[in-house]
Structure 1
Amino acid sequence: MAVVVQYVVKPNPGADFAGILELSKESAELWRKHGGKPRFWSVAVGEFGNFVFSVNFETFSAYGATVEKLNADPAFRTWQAKRLKAGLTTLVRSNLATEIEL
């Protein structure tokens, strides 16, 4: 069973795309460090202008193990504070989905 977690954000007025991308790359490094497979998406239809940061996992237990390590990592807490201080985006929603095999 595959698992994906998604964070959908919208840029705040006047936000610099380069800053959003930089913070996303830093986040991706942290997720990779602890076992996730991150991807960054630009929404082109529907909620045009939003971005999606998604992280894939092979199993739900792999997701749990990664999140546990990530939350214990001081570098992640530092990144969270940096992201909040930057004020570049606003969270629209987050999702955790598990694959249903067909």
Structure 2
Amino acid sequence: MAVVVQYVVKPNPGGDLAGILELAKESAGLWRKHGGKPRFWSVAVGEAGNFVFSVNFETFSAYGAAVDKLNADPAFHTWQAKRLKAGLTTLVRANMAIEIEL
């Protein structure tokens, strides 16, 4: 069973693409450090202009372990403060999906 979490954001007016990408890269490094497999997407159809930051895990327990480690990591708290202060994006939605094997 695979698990994916995704965070959909829209750039704020005047938001700097380079800054958005920098924050996404930093976040990806933190998720990788704790066992996640992050990816960053540019939405081309539907909600065009939005971005999706997704993180895959092989199991639900791997996801839980990564979140526990991430929340205990001071670097993650520093990154969260940096992200909020930058004000480059607004969260549209967050999802977690669990694979149903067919």
RMSD value over aligned CA atoms?
A: 0.2
- Give per-residue Cα distances to partners, 1:1-44, cap 9 Å, x unaligned: 00000000000000000000000000000000000000000000
What is the deviation of 1:51?
Answer: 0.1
Task: Look up the match of 1:20.
Answer: 20
Match in the other structure for 1:72: 72
Q: Which amino acid aligns with 2:70?
A: L
Pairs within 5 Å for 1:49-64:
49-64=49-64
Shift of 1:59: 0.1
Paired residues, number: 102
Runs of 4+ in 1 over 4 A off after TM superposition: none
Q: How far does residue 93 in structure 1 lie from its aligned partner after superposition? A: 0.1
For structure 2, the 5+ residue unaligned runs are none
Task: Report the TM-score when normalising by structure 2.
Answer: 1.00
Task: Return 5+ residue gaps in structure 1 as ranges.
Answer: none
Percent identity for Structure 1 against Structure 2: 89
Q: Partner of 2:100 in structure 1?
A: 100
